[in-house]
């Protein structure tokens, strides 16, 4: 009876893991399989629609190689990455610092929180005319727009994390003569670290949107300009090339944040791995 039950479909083997469990337990294998499936579906769909709607993966690859070899894609990537990186780094520093301060000093939070929520509620694109009038048309405006896009999710998430600090530990630190700075460094900051990385993930996505929108509407340069030019000329094979770069940048940044979180928060327990 046992042998028969083991042969039934859907019955997991008692000795060893099933093929699905083996594949699911290897993140690299899962990623490779998902890419293969995605490309296969893409190929099937492209074979049944005109190329002007969806080019085949092979044509996109050829266009990607051509744009890379000509240097156009490399230059556009450089013109996009550096204002994106500068704006994101400044947003991370300011958002984290202000969020921690507002999480600790409740009177300051009561005064500033309404203004922060007002600015956060205004669509970022509504700031563009003001930024152009104040700072002109150039890379400085791009950096500022990326900063505004990324700073508020970082600030609000970190502030929420700072408020979640264990009140018992804070009181113990105070009873031992800890100063505000020591309480911030030894109690609040470790408690807020998961929120800092959670905010950074959101900020990265917002910053990527900000840099592309900025290059579309502020400065016609970089990957944003490639999107506009090849989209308007319906050169979709070339349109997908900068899209691949943005997707790869987003994946790399997300993996980098995950790695930093594992290194800096080794004590964090994860329910699902």
The whole-angstrom separation of Cα 79 and Cα 81 is 6
pLDDT digits (tens, 9 = 90+) for 237-261: 899 989 999 999 999 999 998 888 8
Beta-carbon contacts of residue 212 (< 8 Å; ≥ 6 apart) = 80, 223, 224, 227, 246
pLDDT digits (tens, 9 = 90+) for 80-103: 999 999 999 999 999 999 998 888
Q: What is the pLDDT of residue 168?
A: 64
Task: Please state the pTM of the whole predicted model.
Answer: 0.80
* H or E stretch at 125: none
Alpha-helix runs per DSSP H in the chain:
2-7, 19-24, 27-46, 57-70, 72-104, 106-121, 128-135, 139-163, 167-175, 180-183, 189-217, 222-232, 236-264
Average pLDDT over residues 11-32: 61
Other residues' Cβ atoms within 10 Å of the Cβ of residue 105? 14
Q: What is the pLDDT of residue 1?
A: 46
- DSSP string computed for 213-246: HHHHHT---HHHHHHHHHHHTT-HHHHHHHHHHH
Q: Which domains does the chain have, with CATH numbers?
A: 1-48 (no CATH), 57-264 (1.10.3720.10)
Cβ contact 161:195 at 8 Å:
yes
């Amino acid at each position: 009876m046992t042998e028969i039950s083991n042969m039934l479909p859907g019955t997991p083997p008692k000795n060893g893991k099933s093929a699905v469990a083996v594949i699911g337990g290897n993140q690299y294998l899962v990623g490779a399989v998902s890419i293969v499936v995605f490309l296969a579906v893409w190929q099937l769909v492209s074979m049944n629609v005109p190329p002007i709607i969806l080019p085949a993966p092979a044509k996109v690859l050829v266009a990607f190689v051509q744009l890379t070899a000509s240097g156009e894609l490399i230059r556009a990537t450089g013109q996009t990455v550096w204002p994106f990186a500068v704006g994101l780094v400044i947003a991370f520093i300011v958002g984290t610092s202000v969020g921690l301060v507002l999480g600790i000093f409740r009177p300051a939070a009561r005064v500033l929180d309404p203004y922060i929520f007002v600015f956060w509620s205004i669509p970022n694109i509504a700031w563009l005319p003001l930024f152009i009038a104040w700072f002109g048309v150039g890379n400085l405006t791009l950096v500022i727009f990326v900063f505004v896009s990324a700073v508020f999710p970082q600030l609000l998430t970190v502030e929420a994390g700072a408020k979640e600090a264990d009140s018992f530990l804070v009181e113990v630190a105070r009873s031992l003569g800890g100063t505000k700075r020591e309480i911030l460094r030894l109690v609040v900051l470790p408690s807020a670290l998961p929120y800092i990385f959670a905010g950074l993930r959101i900020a990265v996505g917002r910053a990527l949107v900000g840099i592309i929108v900025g290059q579309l509407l502020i400065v016609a340069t970089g990957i944003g300009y490639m999107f506009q030019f090849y989209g308007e000329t319906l050169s979709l094979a070339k349109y997908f090339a900068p899209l691949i770069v943005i997707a790869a940048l987003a994946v790399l940044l997300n993996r980098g944040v995950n790695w930093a979180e594992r290194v800096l928060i080794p004590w964090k327990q994860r329910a699902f791995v």
